[in-house]
Amino acid sequence: MRHAHALIALTLLLSPPALAQEDLLRPVGQIALLPIGDSGREDIVGLVKTHWRPYFQTQDPLAFDRDSVRAGRFDLDHDGRAELVVMVTKTGWEAEKGFPLVVAAWTDKGWSAIGWSWGDEDTVFATDQIIGNWRTIDTGTQYLRWDRGLYGRVEKN
């Protein structure tokens, strides 16, 4: 019996550590971030102007135009209306964690930011984790988790 206990203890010591809950999240759908094009999409342009006014279509050295804006929609809270994810992909805007992105929900006044993060246009996914009826978002480098009315960033391990 003493050998059985020693074998179990050795097995536990040599086993890889248990995965954190974040590592168990599964994607349920990609939030496809696509170019917004040369015209239309004024609702998206309005959101961009609200949050990046000094840089959007200006003469600033870090300025960008519609060619550097990607947008995608996904119903994150299961209400039948898709939320919006917008990313700026202009060269020079990338940081260690990727390009800046904003998650927005539609209100009677237009799009309202409910979360901020960083990511890559090809690696933004809605996951199977639901908190407060809102899906967690995997940006490739961070998770966005619903927390009291907004998405909060959680670094990936």
Tens-place pLDDT, residues 49-100: 999 999 999 999 999 999 999 999 999 999 999 999 999 999 999 999 999 9
Q: CB-hemisphere CA count at 13 Å for 44? A: 27
In a domain, 2, yes or no: no
In a domain, 17, yes or no: no
In a domain, 10, yes or no: no
CA 33 to chain centroid, in Å, comes to 11
In a domain, 138, yes or no: yes
pLDDT value of residue 93: 97
Kindly report each contact of residues 131-137 with a partner whose C-beta sits within 8 Å and lies 24 or more positions away, as own/partner.
133/77, 133/78, 134/76, 134/77, 135/28, 135/74, 135/76, 135/77, 136/25, 137/31, 137/76, 137/85, 137/103
Q: Is the pLDDT of residue 4 over 90?
A: no
Contact 139, 123 (CB under 8 A): yes
For residue 151, the enclosing domain spans 27-155
21 confidence band (pLDDT: 50, 70, 90)? low
Nearest to 122 by CA among 32, 26, 23, 35: 32
| Run of H or E residues at 44 | helix 42-52
In a domain, 147, yes or no: yes
In a domain, 55, yes or no: yes
pLDDT value of residue 24: 80
28 confidence band (pLDDT: 50, 70, 90)? very high
Tens-place pLDDT, residues 106-126: 999 999 999 999 999 999 999
| Mean confidence (pLDDT) of the chain | 88
In a domain, 9, yes or no: no
CA distances (Å), origin 53, targets 2, 30, 33, 92: 70, 28, 21, 17
Q: CB-hemisphere CA count at 13 Å for 7? A: 4
Split into its structural domains, the chain has a count of 1
Whole-model pTM: value is 0.84
In a domain, 38, yes or no: yes
